[in-house]
Amino acid sequence: MSIFENILDILEKKGPLSIPSLLDEMNRMSRFQNTNGKPIELSHVKSVISRKRELFNIKNNIVTIDPDKDPVLLSVSLGGYPGPWYKVEVDFINDRFVYFEWHLSSFSQRNELPKVSGSIEDFKKELYRLKIWKWQPEYNQQGIILDGITWSVKLITKGNIFESNGIQSFPNDWEKFCKALSKLTGKYIC
């Protein structure tokens, strides 16, 4: 697990912490997990926090996750004619998700059941990397589109709501987002 992921885990579990307390907690976890035996240095922690400063708030040497970036609920809807259509809702507070799939055509495959689902914690870390809050509100191609993929994503955080949608046009990290959704649900989605 990277220093960045350790910081996220600790802040999720312990809440706001000072940088020295965060370092102590990380070294306690590292020794307990017995990763490489060397303690993490304060400069490493400060470096990660400064590189990811848009994700963290620092006030009076206390580090928190920015409420505008801390997910509460994610709702994803996508599909196209003749289907399938998917709807995924991830509730980060209650650590659960709901997955719906429906087909508009009798020719689409329906017998494939989801494989083992993934971890909501891992999915949340991937959302932090993808920075959905930076996605544009709309992604559309010019011209008439008859059989394109229509999608919408709504991310509710502790401090804001971010919405994006599109028709056959996607954000740069769309493939990574789809892989993360597929890993979470255990079903190939997009």
Residues 52 and 10 in one domain: yes
C-alpha 190/C-alpha 171 separation (Å) is 13
In-domain check, residue 162: yes
Residues 52 and 75 in one domain: no
DSSP state, residue 39: P
In-domain check, residue 85: yes
The strand pair at 85-91 and 138-140 is best described as unpaired
Residues 23 and 74 in one domain: no
171: nearest Cα among 135, 119, 146: 135
Can you give the pTM of this predicted structure?
Answer: 0.84
DSSP state, residue 89: E
DSSP string, 8-29: HHHHHHH-SEEHHHHHHHHHHH
Residues 134 and 147 in one domain: yes
Residues 61 and 73 in one domain: no
Q: Domain end: 13, 34, 65, which one?
A: 65
Parent domain of 43: 3-65
C-alpha 178/C-alpha 162 separation (Å) is 18
In-domain check, residue 190: no
Asked if 76 and 166 count as a contact pair (C-beta separation under 8 A), the reply is no
Tally of CB atoms within 10 A around 120: 18
Each of the 190 residues of the chain gets a pLDDT tens digit; together they read 788 888 999 999 999 999 999 889 888 876 545 455 678 888 888 899 989 889 999 998 899 999 999 999 999 999 987 778 899 999 999 999 999 988 776 655 556 666 778 999 999 999 999 999 999 999 988 777 667 889 999 999 999 999 999 998 999 999 999 999 999 999 888 8
Number of domains in the chain: 2
